[in-house]
Amino acid sequence: MNTAPHLRRRARLAQLIGKGVAIIPTAPERTRNRDAHYPYRYDSYFFHLTGFTEPEAVVVVVAGEKPRNLLFCREKNEEREIWDGFRYGPVAAKESFAFDETYTIDQLDKLMPDLLADQPAVYAHLGGDSAWDARVLGWVNEVRNRARTGVAAPRDIADVHTLLDDLRLIKDADELATMRGAAAISTGAHVRAMRAARAGITEYQIEAELLHEFRRLGAQSPAYTSIVASGANACVLHYVSNDAVLKDGDLLLIDAGCELDGYASDITRTFPVNGRFSAPQRAVYELVLAAQAAAIAEVKPGNPWNAPHYAAVKVLAQGFIDLKLLTGDLAEVLEKETYRKFYMHRTGHWLGLDVHDAGDYKRDGQWRALQPGMVLTVEPGCYIRPGDGVPAEFANIGVRIEDDAVVTATGCEILTSAAPKTVSDIETLMASR
């Protein structure tokens, strides 16, 4: 276990706090039905600070002249380990995860009031889970109840996520290495899907190819539910049924990415089931690809968050006019936002431990400036539902092209460029099946 990044992040949190105590629990296990649980996934904030993946754990950062890092975790229990597998226990966790002190989780309620005594502030995330809120406030109240012994209770209760969001937004070298790994696995999965696609098989059989590749190469899970949408299904933005049969002449839109060691990748590719774009499919596809290129050109330090979106929208809006999907001139289509009939989502989001990652998009009412180390997706699309004024040849075409970009000192690095996306690269790959 490389503990250096987590130590560095806890030290940075302590520095931001100055004096006070931060308390961050991991996620609970959740029952799916009766004795079956959902696959366990730790809390992203907790994991960012610890690298610790067991449930029932809390990290406490005591900031001040002598900062201390504490971990509360499950006890070592050989009986339970026969059923559920290895657990560190406080002794091994202290060593392996570089904590100053570790305790069993059942000590938390006893020790927290002592840790909060004479501290000016407690940093916790309140409002996410009422049982946790009550617990944190209970500890603060316990310290208040000791007032006559001369102990002072924290006067400020502040949101710890607000501090951590900023830390998470700029990825360090360790995080970028993992994200490159996640992106490489996902690009391979999209290539595998292109090779496997043919008329007569189902969307879920393509989903199986993606999942196979994710797990075969060591990713723990998908980062979100895979969208495998053929034909008109591609115009349903969050289509996840994945149960239709692929048809000759349809496009197939796949939005799928794995999670590797906590970090998400997020890729969309759209390609013809039979390996050749029809003329209308190609026209729409080339337009979305041009919009994506325009957006990627705007991913550079100093540009506002909105610049890639605005660039994509301008290209798409002109394209919708040229394809006779919309009437009016460009200024009017932009002003009245009529392009939203065919492009109704934004062009990207932060990417990291969460697929829609932590971090504000605006600061003081202004779009945030891009900085090196930020990771975002660039994902324009076009979704043409049949209807009034829609030329029949374009009806039910849905296209999205999505890549993952890291802002660098001079522009950006595309993590997912190995997944083919030009018409000729896609057709060449599919012809070689």
Q: What amino acid positions are annotated as catalytic residues?
A: 35, 238, 255, 266, 345, 349, 356, 379, 383, 400, 402
* Cβ closest to Mn ion, residue 318 vs residue 416: 416
Asked if 382 contacts 342 with a C-beta cutoff of 8 angstroms, the reply is yes
Instruction: Give the CA distances from residue 95 to residues 3, 5, 61, 102, in Å, rounded to whole numbers and listed in that order.
Output: 10, 15, 17, 9
Least CB distance from residue 268 to ligand GLY, whole Å?
7
Binding-site residue total for Mn ion (CB under 5 A)? 4
* Cβ closest to ligand GLY, residue 252 vs residue 321: 252
Locate 318 and state its tokens: 């002109």
Least CB distance from residue 400 to ligand GLY, whole Å?
8
**Which residues would be at the binding site for ligand GLY (CB under 6 A)?**
224, 255, 266, 349, 355, 379, 402
Asked if 399 contacts 382 with a C-beta cutoff of 8 angstroms, the reply is yes
Instruction: Give the CA distances from residue 79 to residues 37, 84, 312, 395, in Å, rounded to whole numbers and listed in that order.
Output: 20, 9, 58, 61
* Cβ closest to ligand GLY, residue 160 vs residue 258: 258
- CA gap 272, 280 in Å, rounded: 12
Which residues, listed in sequence order, are joined to residue 61 by a DSSP beta bridge? 22, 69
* Cβ closest to ligand GLY, residue 203 vs residue 266: 266
Which among 44-52, 114-122, 329-337, 376-384 is the span making contact with Mn ion, rule CB under 5 A?
A: 376-384
- CA gap 289, 419 in Å, rounded: 13
Asked if 288 contacts 313 with a C-beta cutoff of 8 angstroms, the reply is no
Q: How far is CA 278 from the centre of its chain?
A: 34
Longest dimension (CA), the chain: 81
Residue 180: CB atoms within 10 A of its CB come to 17
The SS3 call for residue 414 is strand
377 forms part of the interface with Mn ion (CB under 5 A): yes
Q: Are strands 156-159 and 121-124 parallel, antiparallel or unpaired?
A: parallel
54 forms part of the interface with Mn ion (CB under 5 A): no
What is the phi-psi region of residue 73: left when phi exceeds 0, alpha when psi lies from -120 to 50, beta otherwise?
beta
The one of Mn ion, ligand GLY, none whose footprint includes residue 224, by CB under 5 to 8 A per kind, is ligand GLY
Asked if 213 contacts 185 with a C-beta cutoff of 8 angstroms, the reply is yes
Least CB distance from residue 266 to ligand GLY, whole Å?
5
Least CB distance from residue 349 to ligand GLY, whole Å?
6
* Cβ closest to ligand GLY, residue 108 vs residue 355: 355
Beta strands in 323-370, from DSSP E residues, in sequence order: 362-363, 366-367
Q: Which DSSP string corresponds to 20-80?
A: EEEEEE-PPP-EEETTEEPPP---HHHHHHH----SS-EEEEEESSS-EEEEEEPPP-HHH
Locate 333 and state its tokens: 């289509």
- CA gap 360, 132 in Å, rounded: 24
Locate 246 and state its tokens: 């692929």
Residues with Cβ within 8 Å of 33's Cβ and at least 6 positions away in sequence, in order, are none
Site string for Mn ion, 242-281 (x = CB under 5 A): -------------x----------x---------------
CA nearest neighbour of 185 among 160, 145, 217: 217
* Cβ closest to ligand GLY, residue 152 vs residue 237: 237
Which among 116-124, 196-204, 232-240, 375-383 is the span making contact with Mn ion, rule CB under 5 A?
A: 375-383
* Cβ closest to ligand GLY, residue 69 vs residue 186: 186
Least CB distance from residue 403 to Mn ion, whole Å?
10
Least CB distance from residue 262 to ligand GLY, whole Å?
17
Least CB distance from residue 353 to ligand GLY, whole Å?
14
Q: Which residues bind Mn ion (CB under 5 A)?
A: 255, 266, 377, 402
